[in-house]
Amino acid sequence: MLKLFNSFSSKKEDLEPFERSLVKIFICGPTLYDYTHLGHARIFLTYDLLCRFLRDNNYATDVLVNMTDINQNVFNKAKEKGDDYSVIARFYSSQFMLDLNLLNIKSISRLAHVSDYVSSMEKEISKLLEQKIAYSANGNIYLDVSTLKDYGALSKQSKEQLNLHRLDVGPNKKNQEDIMLWNCSEDFGFSWNSQFGKGIPWWHIQDTAVAIENFDRNYDIHGGARELSYPHHEAHLAQYRLITGSDNPIKIWMHVGLVLSNGEKMSKSLGNVVWARDLVHRYGQNLLRLYIFSSHYRNDIDFTESDLLTKKPLLEKLYKARSKVSDRSDQELVILVENFFNSFNDDLNSPEALEILDKICTNVIGGSNLSVDNFLRVCRVLGIES
Ligand SMILES: [Zn+2]
């Protein structure tokens, strides 16, 4: 059975979906103002690998990705270009889909522009106001997190630690760590009308509304970068619990590590951003997958092109083995293939799987028999196009 590390409990847990043979996954998606960099690509490749493995185990998957278009960076880009925010957002969402295609990511079933869900955000905020857990302060709406059970559990923070944050600053907030739901006090150049006034639905409630509209009361896995744990995921979990009335509406929080570039966080100002499409054009998505999967998804990666190229011999071995597959598998190979798949059961241990893949290829090249079906099954789970 598949075990995944749950950031909420800090333990590896059996994946037991709400619906027996369907796994519902929400992934925090891109903010629509630029192309997909390697850090984003790693996130979607990781959940693609997970979905491929789940499908190999006869699960269906339903993957929802939200695409953030209500955001300061999107608005800034729109102002810079003299366009409406939606023109920028639609352009970059089409580019995101192109990038997914280049990366052979086929597992996403629903892509949501968050701006299509503003009325739902308004409805959910009203519910929180009715429950008196949300309040208005100088026109802004905030969630009072001070009375919430377990708040801070996901990001492993005590009440005292939470209180050190200065979040979503505005006058008359009850607690410094309270989360903004609707911002009426700042002028971003774009705004939405609501019963709370003209303003912007704030970041975290956007995800909550998209998840509720698509998945209703619960789903199995919430994914995204580890750096989103606080305040974003902590706030989303609190809101989702309050709105659904369920203590446990999301089973597993599965966070992916960072991708650094030559030791530093990727940023345009440092000039070290690595675009996924450039790597695919230069090296192909097969090599990129072997490179990404050679590190465990929870570890950070420090990207260098020379590290990427160290995976080339494995890919070449795989191609060589492909030309030698037969119509049956020797017992020794059957066991290796079984071990290959079993390694994913342990929190998607892809580095171990790739070590076994190396052995499989060595044996096949050396004359052992591997059936074409087994070979194709291995490639299918890795997303390698053979
Ligand atoms: Zn998100």
Query: Residue 251 sits in a domain of what CATH number?
Result: 3.40.50.620
Q: Cα–chain-centroid distance for residue 242? A: 23
- CATH number for 375: 1.20.120
What distance in angstroms lies between residue 204's CA and the mean position of ligand 1's atoms? 7
Encode pLDDT of 99-137 as tens digits: 999 999 999 999 999 999 999 999 999 999 999 999 999
What distance in angstroms lies between residue 68's CA and the mean position of ligand 1's atoms? 8
Residue type, 63: V
Contact 372, 326 (CB under 8 A): yes
What distance in angstroms lies between residue 375's CA and the mean position of ligand 1's atoms? 37
What distance in angstroms lies between residue 202's CA and the mean position of ligand 1's atoms? 11
**264-284: b (≥16 Cβ within 10 Å) or e:** eebeeeeebbbbbbebbeebe
Residue 217's alpha-carbon distances to 147, 230, 232, 248, 264, in angstroms, are 22, 22, 19, 10, 39
What distance in angstroms lies between residue 345's CA and the mean position of ligand 1's atoms? 26
Query: Is a pLDDT exceeding 80 seen at residue 213?
Result: yes
What distance in angstroms lies between residue 207's CA and the mean position of ligand 1's atoms? 5
Encode pLDDT of 147-206 as tens digits: 898 899 999 999 889 888 888 888 899 999 999 999 998 899 999 999 999 999 999 999
Q: Can you give the residue range of the structural domain that contains 221?
A: 16-259
What distance in angstroms lies between residue 228's CA and the mean position of ligand 1's atoms? 7
Write phi, then psi, for 120 (nearest 5 degrees): -70, -35
- How is the chain split among helix, strand and coil, in percent rounded to 5? 45, 20, 35
Q: What is the pLDDT of residue 168?
A: 86
Among 321, 319, 309, smallest CA distance to 359 is for 321
Q: How confident is the model at residue 249 (pLDDT cuts 50, 70, 90)?
A: very high
What distance in angstroms lies between residue 261's CA and the mean position of ligand 1's atoms? 23
What distance in angstroms lies between residue 123's CA and the mean position of ligand 1's atoms? 19
Q: How far apart are the first and last CA of the chain?
A: 28
What distance in angstroms lies between residue 67's CA and the mean position of ligand 1's atoms? 9
Residues 316, 253 share a domain: no
Among 370, 319, 368, 316, smallest CA distance to 340 is for 370
What distance in angstroms lies between residue 232's CA and the mean position of ligand 1's atoms? 7
DSSP annotation of 346 reads B
Encode pLDDT of 292-311 as tens digits: 999 999 999 999 999 999 99
What distance in angstroms lies between residue 16's CA and the mean position of ligand 1's atoms? 23
Write phi, then psi, for 252 (nearest 5 degrees): -130, 130
Write phi, then psi, for 65 (nearest 5 degrees): -125, 125
Query: Is a pLDDT exceeding 80 seen at residue 252?
Result: yes
Question: What is the C-alpha radius of gyration for the chain, rounded to an integer number of angstroms?
Answer: 23
Of the residues 199, 232, 259, the one at which a domain ends: 259
What is the overall mean pLDDT for the chain? 96
d(CA 138, CA 293): 49
Residue type, 83: D
What tokens were used for 251? 């089973």
Q: What percent of the chain has pLDDT over 90?
A: 91
Q: What global pTM score does this model have?
A: 0.97
DSSP-assigned beta bridge partners for residue 11: 6
Residues 321, 253 share a domain: no
Question: Does an H or E element contain 179, and which?
Answer: strand 179-183
What distance in angstroms lies between residue 190's CA and the mean position of ligand 1's atoms? 21
d(CA 385, CA 219): 30
Residues 318, 213 share a domain: no
Residue 36's alpha-carbon distances to 269, 293, 324, in angstroms, are 17, 18, 37
Among 257, 265, 355, smallest CA distance to 301 is for 257
What distance in angstroms lies between residue 383's CA and the mean position of ligand 1's atoms? 25
What distance in angstroms lies between residue 210's CA and the mean position of ligand 1's atoms? 10
What distance in angstroms lies between residue 114's CA and the mean position of ligand 1's atoms? 10
What distance in angstroms lies between residue 5's CA and the mean position of ligand 1's atoms? 19
What distance in angstroms lies between residue 142's CA and the mean position of ligand 1's atoms? 18
**Per the domain annotation, does 297 fall within a domain?**
no
Lowest mean pLDDT among 35-44, 165-174, 208-217: 165-174
Q: What is the pLDDT of residue 262?
A: 83
What distance in angstroms lies between residue 129's CA and the mean position of ligand 1's atoms? 22
Residues 228, 114 share a domain: yes
Q: Which residue has the tokens 């690595």?
A: 274
Of the residues 239, 259, 279, the one at which a domain ends: 259
Total tally of structural domains belonging to the chain:
2
What distance in angstroms lies between residue 242's CA and the mean position of ligand 1's atoms? 17
Residues 90, 213 share a domain: yes
Encode pLDDT of 58-101 as tens digits: 999 999 999 999 999 999 999 999 999 999 999 999 999 999 99
Q: How confident is the model at residue 363 (pLDDT cuts 50, 70, 90)?
A: very high
What distance in angstroms lies between residue 94's CA and the mean position of ligand 1's atoms? 19
Burial grade of 201 (CB within 10 A; 0-12, 13-18, 19 or more): buried
Encode pLDDT of 57-67 as tens digits: 999 999 999 99
Contact 296, 350 (CB under 8 A): yes
Of the residues 224, 259, 294, the one at which a domain ends: 259
**Per the domain annotation, does 324 fall within a domain?**
yes
Residues 227, 361 share a domain: no
Q: What is the pLDDT of residue 85?
A: 97
121 three-class SS: helix
Encode pLDDT of 284-293 as tens digits: 999 999 999 9
Q: What is the pLDDT of residue 295?
A: 98
Q: What is the rounded average pLDDT of the residues 2-16?
A: 98
DSSP-assigned beta bridge partners for residue 219: 250
DSSP annotation of 178 reads P
